[in-house]
Amino acid sequence: MGHPLIDRLSKDLGWPLLDSHAAMADYLGTEGAHVVFVPGDAARNLESADVAVILPELRMAFQGAFDCAICGDEIEAQVRADAKVLKTPSLIFYRDGDCLGGIPKVRDWDDYVARIPQILSRDTTPA
């Protein structure tokens, strides 16, 4: 990843670094809601470090309603294209292997607090 604040998510917090499509599929195949943090190029986009600081706080604020992983550079372009969330940094939400939606760029805390419950409440079962 290359940025200390992003690296600490996997090193200190133990969040998985998804560096292959197989790792992504395995992660999304586990039970519960998941957030994949897509940092983008942290050297060019200073917001990536901001989101790396905000995401652990969001996870605590939502009392573990979702777990978190970091998208590796190797699969980032495909993950963004599949989720239709093209801007970075972004948080992409999944449940049962299905994409629920995403939040691109850094946001105000109140925006996260308003949007995350809306995303997590989306139904992914076919009609």
Amino acid 44: pLDDT: 86
pLDDT 10s per residue in the chain (127 long)? 579 999 999 999 999 999 999 999 999 999 999 999 999 988 888 899 999 999 999 999 999 899 999 999 999 999 999 999 999 999 999 998 899 999 999 999 999 999 999 999 987 655 5
Question: Would you say 87 and 51 are in contact if contact means Cβ atoms under 8 Å apart?
Answer: no
The CATH architecture annotation of domain 4-120 reads: 3-Layer(aba) Sandwich (3.40)
Q: Which tokens belong to 101?
A: 């939606």
Amino acid 64: pLDDT: 87
Amino acid 42: pLDDT: 84
Question: Would you say 74 and 29 are in contact if contact means Cβ atoms under 8 Å apart?
Answer: no
Q: Where along the chain do its domains lie? A: 4-120
Amino acid 125: pLDDT: 59
